[in-house]
Homo-oligomer: A and B are copies of this chain.
Amino acid sequence: MTATLGSRAVPGSPDHGAGHREVATAVLRRGRDTVTPALQAAVDRLDDASRTQARYHLGWTKLDGSPGAGGGKAVRPALALLSAAAAGAGVEVGVPGAVAVELVHNFSLLHDDLMDGDTERRHRTTVWVQWGASSAILCGDAMLALAQEVLLEAPSPHAAPAARLLAVTTRELIRGQAEDLAFESRDDVGVDECLSMAAGKTGSLLAASASIGAVLAGAPAAQTEALHTYGHEVGMAFQLVDDLLGIWGDPGVTGKPVLSDLRSRKKSLPVTYAIRNGGDIGRELGDWLAADGDPTDDELHAAARLVEQGGGREWAAAEARRRRDRALDAVTGAGLLPGPTAELVAVAHHLVDREF
């Protein structure tokens, strides 16, 4: 039995796939267009060195200072803007929240790249490689402080609770990264610990992004909590799918080498599930993961089979589906405005229902 690489049935709602993709793509593009001028104005305030590094990191410039090809998908700002709209506020209400979550996201990328020793991000040299560790630390620190500054300058009377949400979220993000680093030297990590780590690293900032606009809009607690749940569950589902793609993803789509997460012997969610619940197969997988050296392609395919036979693939796909549905339930039952709610639904499908 060989692992099925490339396309595989997407979890649920195959009928709406294309429509959701179109809507979500438009939402993300619109979000990016809206947030970019405000984000640029904020970054312009940084000290000279941090500004240069941040502009490069965000994809706005190349190393020689000439214009860059642009940055990532800007999912978090788009969610922040949608959450303000869903609560009935104008787009300008969500903008400081959108800028702030994107700054916090990039603060964490700058520091994580350094800590993880990653030399490239999106096929570009990382800041710490280019300018040194101290610059990556300081530029990240400055972006984190700037995020709070921008948020606290928002004209909204609800800027303080939004800033508090961002601070709590930042600590969650840090807890997740600390656990991730600690797990590297442990071989007894459980599924719950792994889910908790993902909740910190991925769930927390998506939850904050999907609710910060509504907080700035002064929405009732039931609505901001529903949006927070939506973001958290979408984040968890996204991470589960990402982990599936890290093993069975099509390199042509993911941009990562085939079986990449197994190549780096990463204790991802499906792998951890199979180790802890796969009996003898799980033990075999655990032993392989704990070994050293560069694995051959045959070994990688064998390891992927063990993850599948140990139930990791099926569990992760079902869990992603379950999380996505909880996100959809939360956001569609909160009495939010129908237009933005439909867009939040489309974004959830777009982020979770990927080919794997």
Which of B149, B159, B160, B163 has a CB less than 8 Å from the CB of A171?
B149
Q: 1/0 per position for A147-184, CB-CB distance to B under 8 A?
A: 01100110000011101101110110011011101100
Contact segment of A3-11, A130-138, A251-259, A331-339: A130-138
Which of B135, B137, B163, B181 has a CB less than 8 Å from the CB of A163?
B163
Complex Cα–Cα for A50 and B167 (A): 16
Across the interface, do B170 and A145 meet the contact criterion of CB distance under 8 Å?
Answer: yes
Across the interface, do B167 and A149 meet the contact criterion of CB distance under 8 Å?
Answer: yes
Closest 7 CB pairs of A and B: A145-B170, A152-B164, A149-B167, A148-B167, A47-B175, A160-B160, A115-B134
Besides the known contacts A111-B137, A145-B167, A149-B164, 17 further A-B residue pairs in the complex with CB atoms under 8 A apart? A47-B174, A47-B175, A50-B174, A50-B178, A107-B141, A115-B137, A133-B133, A134-B181, A135-B178, A141-B170, A144-B144, A144-B145, A148-B164, A148-B166, A148-B167, A149-B167, A152-B160
Residue of B nearest to A49 (CB): B178
Does A237 lie at the interface of the complex (its beta carbon under 8 Å from any beta carbon of B)?
no
Across the interface, do A171 and B46 meet the contact criterion of CB distance under 8 Å?
Answer: yes
How many of these chains are in the complex? Answer: 2
Residues of A in contact with B, size category? 35 or more
Complex Cα–Cα for A218 and B153 (A): 17
Residue of B nearest to A154 (CB): B160
Across the interface, do B115 and A174 meet the contact criterion of CB distance under 8 Å?
Answer: no
Across the interface, do A171 and B146 meet the contact criterion of CB distance under 8 Å?
Answer: yes
Does A93 lie at the interface of the complex (its beta carbon under 8 Å from any beta carbon of B)?
no
- The interface residues of chain B lying within 8 Å CB-to-CB of A161 are 152
- The interface residues of chain B lying within 8 Å CB-to-CB of A133 are 115, 133
